[in-house]
A and B are shown apart, each in its own frame.
Chain A
Amino acid sequence: MYVAVKGGERAIENAHAWLAEERRGDMDIAELGIAQIREQLSLAVNRVMAEGSLYDPDLAALAIKQARGDLIEAIFLIRAYRTTLPRFGASEPVDTGAMTCDRRISATFKDLPGGQVLGPTFDYTHRLLDFKLAADGDVPEAPSREAAADSVPHVTEFLNHEGLIEEAPQEDTPPPDLTREPLETPAERALRLQALTRADEGFILGLAYSTQRGYARNHAFVGELRIGSVAVKMEIPELGFAVEIGEVTLTECETINQFKGSKTEPPQFTRGYGLVFGQTERKAISMALVDRALRWEELGEDNVGAPAQDAEFVLYHADNIQATGFLEHIKLPHYVDFQSELELVRKLRREAGVDQVQEAAE
């Protein structure tokens, strides 16, 4: 059946004009600047960079403004922009051991080299609304103390000395890239980690929580959580040597998990790993738990059928841009599809004699 599909142009243009007006809101209220979003809504900016998979705070702030604060819409804008950029190359793997840490805590060792550094955290706040913030924005300068020049080694290194934890030996196989080749399962760990680090925070949080509640329980301790900046080093093709081209803030979480041992491995601790752009602590911890759950096969554990163990389920549903694209498309015109469904249902009803029965009843 023919259904007219033209005629929406003016309505669409007017809708977008109204969107722009609503985005701006009450003109008597000062307009938000990109720099204000970048500086004062920095954790939203961080989430957009992590899930948009592009580190650029100004762009993420612009996307948040354009999306009226809808972070998934902002992530969508960043993903779309990213596809327009020529890729100059790949960095050397960042050295998180050399991170300049703003925060570094361990839930497993109280006294550790480099110490427990809380950093600018929400932890231990009372979660009471602070009405002073509604009044004025002046804050006193935070206290400082002379910093020791100690190195801040990874916690897992201590356990490695005793052989109590699985090692993560260095290797340099070039990793697969899901932005170049479609994601397929079975997916090796490098591919899973790429998918997890750009995955939707809420989805990964829910899965991680499910492992804590008993679905593929592997009892995770946060061996270490660190947030800070690392240098990004890239080999310059024209010069044949690597230079630091910039610096990114990252959140890294290493979990230490129980492991009873298998046919080939003695009982020892195993590890889950989370590494995410920006100060994104909830996401990094969640990523480490889900990474560990997905490693059941390589560690010789049982598949207990938990959602977090199912790589295909996790990886194919974790991307909020894919998910929202498919989900939201069903609100767009499906008139033709629906007409054919309508015809089909009418035909089936005729065949089942429903209409005659109804007519008889009338």
Chain B
Amino acid sequence: MKDTLDEQNPRQAWMSLIALAPEGRVAQLLDAAEERPAFKWLRPPEIGSTMVRGRAGATGAPFNLGEMTVTRCALTLDTGEVGHAYIQGRRKADAEAAALVDAMMQTALADKLRETVLEPIKAEMKQAKTTRAAKAAATKVEFFTMTRGED
């Protein structure tokens, strides 16, 4: 994970983390940790798109690069907390789990979920990134200069 996540407000950080988790992983960890609480849909899972933008010359004016699929939903726990999810791909079950975790992180369960759901995901994703970065690093060119024969 990028360190910038830690500089954000905590909710931004956990929502971002959950959105980037591999398919099925949030639901798996959530169900292992905790009984799912009762909730009502504010917006049942819905598949749509987000227009991804870039910048001309990397830093200049924005332009539309193309869309990506996104699933979103919103729910409210019977205890009143509202959970939202916006996650990449067409993954309704994952969106439900993400919104549940978002809502439950606003309850007394927050510390437990941080330990049982968020931290493991963070560690696994860091591991995956490190493995990939290490393969890239192995392809880094080490230049050396040949000494010419004449002196």
Contacts and interface: CB of A to CB of B under 8 A. Distances in A.
A90 B65 contact: no
Q: How large is the interface on B (under 10, 10 to 19, 20 to 34, 35 or more residues)?
A: 35 or more
Interface in A86-103: 86-94, 96-98, 100-103
Contact of A91 (B9, B51, B56, B136): B51
A54 B137 contact: no
Contact of A147 (B11, B60, B86, B130): B130
A142 B9 CA distance: 38
Contacts, number: 229
A93 B130 contact: no
Nearest to B49: A85
Given A91-B50, A234-B86, A241 B66 contact: no
A153 to B, nearest CB: 10
B59 A169 contact: yes
Interface string A97-124: 1101111000000110001111110000
A177 B16 contact: no
B67 A147 contact: no
Nearest to B18: A243
B132 interface: yes
A245 B135 contact: no
Given A55-B52, A85-B69, A142 B57 contact: no
Given A147-B133, A147-B134, A89 B143 contact: no
A93 B134 contact: no
Given A54-B49, A88-B49, A168-B55, A175 B62 contact: yes
Contact of B63 (A175, A244, A248): A175
A139 to B, nearest CB: 13
Contact of A96 (B47, B58, B64, B89): B58
Interface of B: 2, 5, 9, 11-12, 15-16, 19-20, 46-70, 72, 74, 84, 86-90, 129-141, 143
Given A146-B137, A232-B68, 12 more contacts: A55-B69, A90-B64, A97-B58, A101-B136, A115-B140, A120-B139, A156-B57, A168-B56, A174-B62, A243-B16, A243-B86, A246-B20
Interface of A: 49-50, 53-56, 58-59, 82, 85-94, 96-98, 100-103, 110-111, 115-120, 142-148, 154, 156, 168-179, 189-191, 193-194, 197-198, 231-234, 236, 238-239, 241-248, 250, 252, 254, 271, 273, 275, 277
